[in-house]
Structures are given as C-alpha cells and as structure tokens.
Copies of this chain bind each other. A is one copy, B any other.
Amino acid sequence: MQLSKTPKIKYIKQPTSQVWIDQAIANLDIILLDHSHCERKAAGVALNLMFRYPSSVRLIKMLTAIAREELEHFEQVNQWLERRNIPLAPLNAPPYGAALNSQIRRNEPERMLDLLLVYCLIEARSHERLGLLADYCNDYELAKFYRGLMVSEARHYGVYWILATTYFEQKVVEQRLEKLAIFESEVLSNLHLEPRIHS
C-alpha cells in the first residue's frame, strides 16, 4: 500500500481512506465524469450564493471569480473526457451533498454562515481528493492536470473561509466549522458503493 504524498488538509477532520483511493483509481473514467459534474455544480453553487446575497459586495466579487474559474475547470475536465472517449452523461449523486445540505440552518444569518462553511468543506475535501488522484493515478499527464487543479481548489476553500470571517465573528465561524467538519468526515466514513469524487 502506497503512502499518500498529499499533506494534511486544513479544515478536514479525517483524511480520506485507502479504500476510497482504490475504488477511485479502479474506476478512473467514472471519477472523471463525476469530476465534470462536480465542477459544474461548484459553479452553480457560487452563482446561487450570488443570487441569494446580491448586495454583499465582497461575496459578489470573490464568487464571480470562483464561478468563472470553476467553469474553466469544467471545460478542461470535459476535454479530458473527450480525449478518453468518455461520453457526457448524467450520474447519480452520492449522498454527500444532500447530507451536508441537511446541516444548513434555515434562518438568516445562520443560513449564510452554514452555506459558506459547507462549501468551504466541500472545496477542502475536493482539494484533498484531487491531490490523491494526482498521487496514485498512473497517467502522468492526468496526474499533472489534477495537481494543477489542486492549487485552485486550495484558493477556493480559502475564499469561502475569508467570506465567512468577513460576515461573521471569527470565533463563531471556528465553532461552527468544527461541528460541520466532524459531520463531514462522518458522512464519508462509510464508502459509498458507486465511485465518486465524494463517495
């Protein structure tokens, strides 16, 4: 068993298990297709926040940049699909997103804080897992691609953290993130049967 070269990721309570790595590397084509969906969803998530908080200047500025970048990644992942002759197709989402969404409180301002922190955690986990794909995948060019994306993902979870601490007191943010991060790792503690970025 190879040891992960990816360092410990900030905000993530439990590192990804070897079983996920094995499942992902054995199903790289499905992982690539799921990754394409993830990038489109990430753009959608940023845009939805921009619709929900149209007067929050810093949020609008930072998330416009993120949405643009996620769409660029979406394009790049789709070029990888084309290169590998993987047709575009819908995929069932793993329970991860819905489970995290269930933790978002329904009233403002708590809702805004939870949305920012849940997306922070999803980006942090994506960052970790793209790093693992880069470490373990046998295709040198694909590994290089994943490594390149990781840099952006790290910036993205940083942006969600900055936004949370822009609109909320740092202590409140830290306490809530601690709770959500524990939950996030629990959701992933049982591997989902279908290979996904967030299985």
Q: Which residues of A contact B (CB under 8 A)?
A: 37, 40, 43-44, 47, 50-51, 54-57, 60-61, 64-65, 67-68, 71-72, 74-75, 78, 87-90
Contacts and interface: CB of A to CB of B under 8 A. Distances in A.
How many identical chains are in the complex?
A: 2
Contact of A55 (B50, B55, B87): B87
Contact of A54 (B60, B67, B89): B89
Nearest to A65: B75
Given A54-B90, A55-B87, A55-B88, 4 more contacts: A60-B78, A61-B75, A64-B71, A64-B78
Nearest to A48: B44
Nearest to A66: B71
B47 A60 contact: no
Contacts of A64: 71, 74-75, 78
